[in-house]
Structure 1
Amino acid sequence: MKYKVAFVCVHNSCRSQMAEGWAKKLGSEIFEVYSAGTENYPQVKPLAVEVMEEAGVDMSEHKPKLLSDIPPKLDLLITMGCNVVCPFVPTKHMEDWGLEDPSGGPIEGFRVTRDLIKTKVEELIKRVENKEIEL
C-alpha cells in the first residue's frame, strides 16, 4: 500500500515542487506523491528546476497545481512554512516544515533549500517506514 502525501505552499512554484521531486525519486515505493498551492502561479521557478537538475531530479515537466488538482483525501499533508492556512484537507497526519522561500534570491539559496528538503524527505520516509507516524 502506498501512502498519499502532498506538499503544499502558496504558489506551488518552488519548495513544494522540490519536495514532490525528492519524494518521487526517494520514496516512490511507499508514497503516491502530489504537490499543490493555494494560489495560481504561472510556472515553476526556473532556478528551482535548475538546482534539482543538478541533483539528478528532473522537474522540467512540472507545472504549478492547486489544491483542487490533487486527491481530496490524503495520508500526509506537509506545508512548507509559508505562513499559509490551508483550507481543510482531510488527512491522517499534518506537519509544517518551516522552510524559508529562496525565491528572489541567488541560486545558492535554492541549493540550500533543495538540500534541506532532501533531508526532510529522507527523514519522513524513515518515520513512515518505522511507523513513527500513525497512518
Structure 2
Amino acid sequence: MSPENKNRKMDDWIVARASQYKALGDSTRLRLVLMVRDAAPSPVCTCDLPEIFGMGQSTLSHHLGKLVDAGILDREQRGRWAYFTLDEQFDASMLGHSGFIHPADASRGDCCSSRKDADGTVTVLFACRRNSGRSQIAAAIAQSMAPSGMRVLSAGSEPAHEVDPLVVQALGEIGLKPLSSPSKLDPTVVKNADWVVTMGCGESCPYFPGTHREDWAVPDPHTRDIDEVRDIVARMQGKVADLMARIEKNQENREGQNGQEE
C-alpha cells in the first residue's frame, strides 16, 4: 500500500471514530448502546424503549438513527418494529477504553452479573406465549438441575388455561412435572430476573437493562403428537444443561472477581 493510500485509510478511520465518539457523547445514546450490548445476542426492539426511557418513540428513533449513521448500531425492520444490535464493524472495546463502562464491569466475560437479590439468589425466567408447553418444559428441567440459591420461574404473554396434557405426560416419563399452572408474564418479574429465556413471545416480552435475555428457537409442542413432544423435551434438556453450566461459570467468575477486590 502506498503512503498516500495508507494515510487516506488512517484519515477515514479517524473520521469514523470521531463520529462514533460524538454520537456516544449524548447520555441517551450511550444508554441505548449499553442496553443493546447487554442484550446481545438478542436484538432490542423499539417497542420496549418508550417505557424504559420515558421518552416518545419519535425522540428515541432520532437517537437510534444517529447511532446507526455512526456505524455503532445495526437496524433490522421486522414488520411494524425495528430491532437493533451492535454493528458488526463497531469496536465495542471503545466503550471500555473511553470510560463509558463502569470499572467494575470492564472485565466481565458475561453480560449477566446475577446481582439483583441481596441474598445471592439467581432468578431464571422462561417465557413463551401460552406458558403451557416450551416454558413449562424448560422450567421443570431447570428446576431439576438447579443448585441451591436459584429460583426458576415460567410465564406466558397469553397464558392458556392449563399445561398441555402431552407435555405433562412427556415430563412425567422422565420423572418431572410442571412447576405451576400457566401464569401471565409480569414485566416486574422480567425486570427482577437475572436470566430471561424467551421462546416465541416476541415483542410482548419486555427488555430491561441489566437482565440477560436470550431467545431459543424451540418448536411449540402445541398440536404435536407425543413422539414429537418427547423430542422437544429431549432437545430442551440439552439447552437447559448448557444454560445451567453458563450460569454456574458466571457465578464462579463473579465470586473470583469479588475475592480479588477484597
Q: Same fold (TM over 0.5)?
A: yes
Whether 1:53 aligns to 2:172 is: yes
Cα deviation, residue 42, structure 1: 0.8
The equivalent residue for 1:102 is 221
Calculate percent identity across the aligned residue pairs.
30
The equivalent residue for 1:18 is 137
In structure 2, distance between residues paired with 1:107 and 1:3: 33
SS in 2 for 1:67: coil
In structure 2, distance between residues paired with 1:44 and 1:121: 19
Distance 1:62 1:70, change over 3 A: farther
In structure 2, distance between residues paired with 1:74 and 1:33: 10
Whether 1:84 aligns to 2:84 is: no
TM-score by length of 1: 0.87
Count of matched residue positions in the alignment of Structure 1 and Structure 2? 132
The superposition leaves residues 7-59 of structure 1 with CA deviations (integer Å, 9 ceiling, x where unpaired) of 00000001100111011111142520000000131110000000000001022
Superposed, 1:116-127 pairs within 5 Å as: 116-127=235-246
C-alpha root-mean-square deviation of aligned residues, in Å?
A: 2.2
The equivalent residue for 1:35 is 154
TM-score by length of 2: 0.47
**Runs of 4+ residues over 3 Å off in structure 1:** none
Please tell me whether the aligned partners of residues 170 and 230 of structure 2 are also in contact (alpha carbons under 8 angstroms): yes
Whether 1:66 aligns to 2:184 is: yes
SS in 2 for 1:48: helix
Give the structure with the larger strand fraction: 1
Please tell me whether the aligned partners of residues 76 and 93 of structure 1 are also in contact (alpha carbons under 8 angstroms): yes
Higher RCO (CA < 8 A, seq sep 6+): 1
Structure 1 residues not aligned, in runs of 5+: none
